[in-house]
């Protein structure tokens, strides 16, 4: 499960640029501190469902992945699992970008072992080092929630997308079901932080995961923000009873 802790509120409009910079640094340091255990914990704590979520996302994106000569950006790529499933579905160029060096180091090693030509770039999602209109798809798995300013990230993503290009955000959601909701929250808020801390050997980061999800905007609110940031055909689809949602949109032609 992209058990992605967040050490500070991720989208408070009142944050000054300095506060955002500090918050982003804390996010980077935190992922650096758990990078060595990140994959193990993801797969363990999600009971392997994280593979399925990324696989479904890649399958839903087959239209854009099959565009001839398309360019794909896996943003907040972490240890590269989304880039891997995307690359397995397209002969086109896939770039994995993240601002956390230890996470990208693990990603590079995985790409090498998988013998897949995926390039990596150390990059901040809020100031992307890519030319405007240079990607057909920007996809994020469990990274968007950790960004310290959603609107800035969305406008950067829009900038680097070609007209007609797509954004796909796979992210945790508030589970709504009357029975599954309370059960999931019990696991997510009480058991998962304890297991995460125990296995990672790092106290703290896994406490933040449920907090960051509860702070994350509801599906409809994120859709609204995406539209306000200039995306059209915005839609979302729940997976696994709404534990995770795939949000999509298009940069208008």
Ligand X SMILES: C[S@@+](CC[C@H](N)C(=O)[O-])C[C@H]1O[C@@H](n2cnc3c(N)ncnc32)[C@H](O)[C@@H]1O
Q: Residue 130: what are its φ and ψ, rounded to 5°? A: -120, 155
Binding residue for ligand X (CB under 6 A) from 34, 45, 72, 103?
103
In whole angstroms, how close is the CB of 30 to ligand X at the nearest point? 8
Task: Please report whether residue 1 would count as binding ligand X according to CB under 6 A.
Answer: no
Task: Kindly give, in sequence order, each residue whose CB lies less than 8 Å from that of residue 26, ignoring residues fewer than 6 positions away.
Answer: 7, 8
Binding residue for ligand X (CB under 6 A) from 57, 64, 73, 147?
147
User: Distance (Å, rounded) from C-alpha 230 to C-alpha 227?
Assistant: 5
User: Distance (Å, rounded) from C-alpha 131 to C-alpha 56?
Assistant: 29
Binding residue for ligand X (CB under 6 A) from 7, 78, 193, 210?
78
Give whole-number Cα distances, 58 to 90, 124, 130, 133, 179, in Å.
10, 23, 23, 22, 29
CA nearest 115: which of 90, 87, 138? 87
In whole angstroms, how close is the CB of 148 to ligand X at the nearest point? 7
Task: Please report whether residue 226 would count as binding ligand X according to CB under 6 A.
Answer: no
Task: Please report whether residue 4 would count as binding ligand X according to CB under 6 A.
Answer: yes
Contact by Cβ (8 Å): 94, 125: no
Q: Which 5-64 residues touch ligand X, going by CB under 6 A?
A: 24, 27-28, 31, 42
In whole angstroms, how close is the CB of 106 to ligand X at the nearest point? 10
Q: Which 122-141 residues touch ligand X, going by CB under 6 A?
A: 124-126, 141
Task: Please report whether residue 146 would count as binding ligand X according to CB under 6 A.
Answer: yes
Task: Please report whether residue 118 would count as binding ligand X according to CB under 6 A.
Answer: no
Task: Please report whether residue 169 would count as binding ligand X according to CB under 6 A.
Answer: no
Q: Residue ranges of the alpha helices (H) in 7-90?
A: 17-45, 49-60, 62-65, 81-87
Classify the C-alpha dihedral 104-74-230-218 as positive or negative: negative
Task: Kindly give, in sequence order, each residue whose CB lies less than 8 Å from that of residue 244, ignoring residues fewer than 6 positions away.
Answer: 53, 170, 171, 172, 173, 238
Task: Please report whether residue 249 would count as binding ligand X according to CB under 6 A.
Answer: no
In whole angstroms, how close is the CB of 140 to ligand X at the nearest point? 7
Q: Which positions touch ligand X (CB under 6 A)?
A: 2, 4, 24, 27-28, 31, 42, 76-78, 81-82, 98-100, 103, 124-126, 141-143, 146-147
């Amino acid at each position: 499960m992209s058990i992605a802790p967040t050490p500070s509120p991720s989208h408070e409009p009142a944050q000054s640029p300095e506060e955002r910079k500090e918050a982003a640094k804390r996010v980077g340091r935190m992922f650096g501190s758990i990078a060595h255990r990140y994959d193990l914990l993801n797969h363990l704590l999600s009971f392997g469902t994280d593979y399925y979520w990324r696989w479904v996302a890649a399958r839903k994106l087959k239209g854009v992945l099959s565009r001839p000569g398309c360019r794909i950006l896996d943003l907040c790529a972490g240890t590269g699992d989304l880039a891997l499933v995307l690359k397995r579905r397209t002969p086109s160029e896939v770039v994995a970008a993240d601002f956390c060096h230890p996470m990208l180091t693990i990603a590079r090693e995985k790409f090498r072992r998988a013998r897949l030509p995926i390039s990596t770039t150390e990059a901040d999602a809020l100031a992307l080092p890519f030319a405007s209109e240079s990607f057909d798809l920007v996809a994020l798995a469990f990274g968007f929630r950790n960004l310290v300013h959603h609107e800035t990230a969305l406008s950067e993503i829009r900038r680097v997308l070609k007209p007609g290009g797509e954004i796909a955000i796979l992210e945790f959601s508030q589970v709504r079901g009357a029975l599954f909701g309370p059960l999931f929250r019990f696991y997510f808020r009480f058991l998962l932080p304890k297991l995460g801390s125990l296995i990672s050997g790092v106290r703290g980061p896994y406490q933040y995961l449920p907090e960051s999800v509860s702070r994350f905007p509801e599906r409809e609110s994120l859709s609204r923000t995406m539209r306000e940031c200039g995306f059209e055909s915005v839609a979302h689809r729940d997976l696994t009873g709404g534990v995770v949602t795939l949000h999509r949109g298009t940069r208008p032609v």
